[in-house]
Amino acid sequence: MKTVRTEVRPSRPGERREPSEPTGSTRLSISFVVPLYNEVENVDLLVAEVRSVMDGSNRECEVLLIDDGSTDGTAERLAGVPAMDPRFRVILLRRNFGQTAAMSAGFDHARGDVIVAMDGDLQNDPADLEILMEKIEGEGYDIVSGWRKRRRDPLFSRKVPSWLANRLIGWLTGVRLHDYGCSLKAYRAEVLQNVRLYGEMHRFIPALASWGGARITEVPVSHRPRTRGTSKYGINRTIRVLLDLITVKFLLSFATRPLQVFGLWGLGMFGVGSLLTGYLAYIRLFHGSPLSDRPLLMLGILMILMGVQLVSMGLLAEISIRTYHESQEKPTYVIREIVEDDQEV
Distance, in Å, from the CA atom of 72 to the CA atom of 230, rounded to the nearest integer, reads 12
Distance, in Å, from the CA atom of 221 to the CA atom of 129, rounded to the nearest integer, reads 9
- Residue 157: what pLDDT? 72
Does 2-254 carry CATH code 3.90.550.10? yes
Q: Report pLDDT digits (tens) over 126-148.
A: 999 999 999 999 999 999 999 99
- Residue 273: what pLDDT? 95
pLDDT class for 240, splitting at 50, 70, 90? Answer: confident
Which residue, 198, 211, 196, 193, is CA-closest to 249?
211
pLDDT class for 89, splitting at 50, 70, 90? Answer: very high
What φ, ψ does residue 316 adopt, rounded to 5°? -65, -40
Q: Is 207 left (phi over 0), alpha (psi -120 to 50) or beta?
A: alpha
- Residue 8: what pLDDT? 35
Highest mean pLDDT among 2-6, 13-17, 255-259: 255-259
Q: Report pLDDT digits (tens) over 146-201.
A: 999 888 777 777 788 888 889 999 998 889 999 998 999 999 999 998 788 887 88
* Under 8 Å between Cβ of 204 and 249: no
The residue ranges of every structural domain in the chain are 2-254, 259-337
- Residue 237: what pLDDT? 66
Distance, in Å, from the CA atom of 187 to the CA atom of 205, rounded to the nearest integer, reads 9
**Average confidence (pLDDT) over 63-71:** 94
Long-range contacts of 258-264 (CB under 8 A, 24+ apart): 258/314, 258/317, 258/318, 258/321, 259/311, 259/314, 259/315, 259/317, 259/318, 260/314, 261/314, 262/310, 262/311, 262/313, 262/314, 262/317, 263/310, 263/311, 263/314
Q: Is the pLDDT of residue 19 over 70?
A: no
Q: Report pLDDT digits (tens) over 190-232.
A: 999 878 888 788 889 999 998 888 999 999 999 998 888 777 6
220's enclosing H/E stretch is: strand 216-220
Q: What is the DSSP letter of 27?
A: P
For 119, 153, 219, the CA distances from 148, given in Å and listed in that order, are: 13, 10, 9
* Under 8 Å between Cβ of 114 and 28: yes
All residues at 6 or more sequence positions from 138 whose CB lies less than 8 Å from its CB, including other chains: none
Q: Where are the alpha helices (DSSP H) in the chain?
A: 43-55, 74-79, 81-84, 99-109, 129-133, 139, 160-173, 205-210, 235-254, 259-287, 295-327
**Average confidence (pLDDT) over 317-343:** 71
